[in-house]
Structure 1
Amino acid sequence: MLESNPYASPYTVAAQPADARATFIRKTYAHLGGAIAAFAILEYFFLQSEAMLSLVAPLMGNWWLVLIAFMGVSWIANKWALSSTSKGMQYAGLGLYVVAEAIIFIPILYLAMAITGSATLIAQAGIITAALFLGITAIAFVTKKDFSFLNSFLMVGGFIALGLIFASMIFGFQLGIIFCGAMALFASVAILRDTSNIIHHYGTDQYVAASLGLFASVALLFWYVIQILLSLASSD
């Protein structure tokens, strides 16, 4: 649930010539593809590493600490990615966020493999996430509407979701598949908003920050699609 500030540059994409807009969009999605590829490679090696699994295992019973740490890392990564003075700092922010996401995902991916005995469920979640992402992206580019009005909904929804997550960890209740479905919808709306910002609001030099914001929303959707599939698999 990473929030970015796509309004930092006065030279927004929408105000630029068609070739500049096209270049910005290509760079953004190329960086998104690179972030996803890096995430997948890191997960492959992390899941093969006994040392990494041993390091992450104790955190599974202290998810509130993980969540707080992740929120802090997300804030730092986003701040770096929005740097207007250093391209290296922007890439450092994107890299930091990808690594943080890869570490956060280790337990749930390990659980998915343990339950199914293979990576089938993970592959299914990846396909579903990709299909939803492509559909939402098509809506944003075909309609060309400005969906920045969704910011308020996402902000309020994000606080409610965090409150429920913390409450579940404190009082020990399960949020269940309905919550996961609602969060998958939340992530889908975030992708729509982020894609709209790519079309309308980012500056042409902010493609790293744009890719980070979109990667964060895609990762959130992937997380809850896995949760839904795990719930369905467990109920069989």
Structure 2
Amino acid sequence: MRYQVNSQTDTRSRVMDSEARKVLTNTYWLLGMTLAFSGLAAFFAMSTGLTMHPIIFLVGAYGLMFLTHKLSNSGWGLVSVFAFTGFMGLSLGPIISAYLGAGMGDVVTTALSMTALVFFGLSAVALITKKDFSFLGKFLMIGFFVLLGGMIASFFISGLHLVISAGFVIFASAAILFETSQIVHGGQRNYILATISLFVAIYNLFLSLLTLLGMGSND
């Protein structure tokens, strides 16, 4: 009887590991494609001089994110995730153009390199150690509201942008660890939702590093 129970447990463990690897593979493939698509959208916005009003950005970003969550269990979820990431790429175009126009191309390159380094480094930690980072869930929830409050306060108090950007670097890093750990330990079985979470973390990480490096630049 004990052998049978152990055998069933091992079987379930192997099935879970197989599912986790499948979700992880699909997530990284989709994430890679959406990052490339977002980069093309950013290049298009830079080439055409496209600008985006903050209200349009908020409505489009949160609207498409909500739509992707609603469609995540259907084939339309893939269409929605590309629409969302493409839209986010369009929003990056004017920001990158402003830095390039100010002669700060090295800042953009450094921010991109650091973003890639942080993402791959933290992903490797979660994948190799297989440590359960689910405890970061509460931190992310609290951090979201703290950062949201800080963003609102920054409209009335000068000098908060540096602190908020540093906070977003920590928040995005924690999100990468949390989401990757969720996939490894079976907490996330939808690769579309996993892709969205990781994409948003990378997006926020890049923008925050860009802001911090830009503030520290002599230019």
TM-score of the alignment, normalized to the shorter chain, above 0.5: yes
Match of 2:128 among 117, 142, 160: 142
Code of the aligned partner of 2:135? F
The superposition leaves residues 119-150 of structure 1 with CA deviations (integer Å, 9 ceiling, x where unpaired) of: 43222111100001111011101221221221
Structure 2 CA distance, aligned partners of 1:122 and 1:129?
Answer: 11
The superposition leaves residues 89-147 of structure 1 with CA deviations (integer Å, 9 ceiling, x where unpaired) of: 21122112202311322332122111226x43222111100001111011101221221
Structure 2 CA distance, aligned partners of 1:126 and 1:133?
Answer: 11
Q: Name the larger-Rg structure.
A: 2
Give yes or no for contact 1:80–1:92 (8 Å, CA) kept in 2. Answer: no
Match of 1:125 among 93, 98, 111: 111
CA RMSD of aligned residues (A): 2.3
Q: Which has the higher contact order (CA 8 A, sep 6+)?
A: 1
Give yes or no for contact 2:41–2:87 (8 Å, CA) kept in 1. Answer: no
The 1:14–1:120 alpha-carbon spacing in structure 2 relative to 1, beyond 3 Å, is farther
Q: Secondary structure at the match of 1:24?
A: helix
- 2:93 maps to 106
- 1:38 maps to 37
Code of the aligned partner of 1:79? K
The 1:66–1:14 alpha-carbon spacing in structure 2 relative to 1, beyond 3 Å, is farther
The superposition leaves residues 18-57 of structure 1 with CA deviations (integer Å, 9 ceiling, x where unpaired) of: 444333322110111101111111111110003x23xx2x
Structure 1 CA distance, aligned partners of 2:82 and 2:56?
Answer: 22
Structure 2 CA distance, aligned partners of 1:20 and 1:214?
Answer: 19
Calculate percent identity across the aligned residue pairs. 27
- Structure 1 unmatched runs, 5+: 1-12
- 2:174 maps to 189
Q: Secondary structure at the match of 2:154?
A: helix
Give yes or no for contact 2:20–2:183 (8 Å, CA) kept in 1. Answer: no
Give yes or no for contact 1:14–1:199 (8 Å, CA) kept in 2. Answer: no
- 1:230 maps to 214
The superposition leaves residues 162-204 of structure 1 with CA deviations (integer Å, 9 ceiling, x where unpaired) of: 11112223x263423232112101110011101111212122x
Q: Secondary structure at the match of 2:135?
A: helix
1:61-100 equivalences under 5 Å are 63=54, 66-67=57-58, 69-81=60-72, 84=73, 86-87=74-75, 89-100=76-87
- 2:151 maps to 165
Structure 1 CA distance, aligned partners of 2:58 and 2:142?
Answer: 18
- 2:26 maps to 27
TM-score, normalised via structure 2 length? 0.84
TM-score, normalised via structure 1 length? 0.79
The 1:232–1:123 alpha-carbon spacing in structure 2 relative to 1, beyond 3 Å, is same
Aligned length: 207
Structure 1 CA distance, aligned partners of 2:21 and 2:64?
Answer: 31
Give yes or no for contact 1:148–1:196 (8 Å, CA) kept in 2. Answer: yes
Moved over 6 A (4+): none
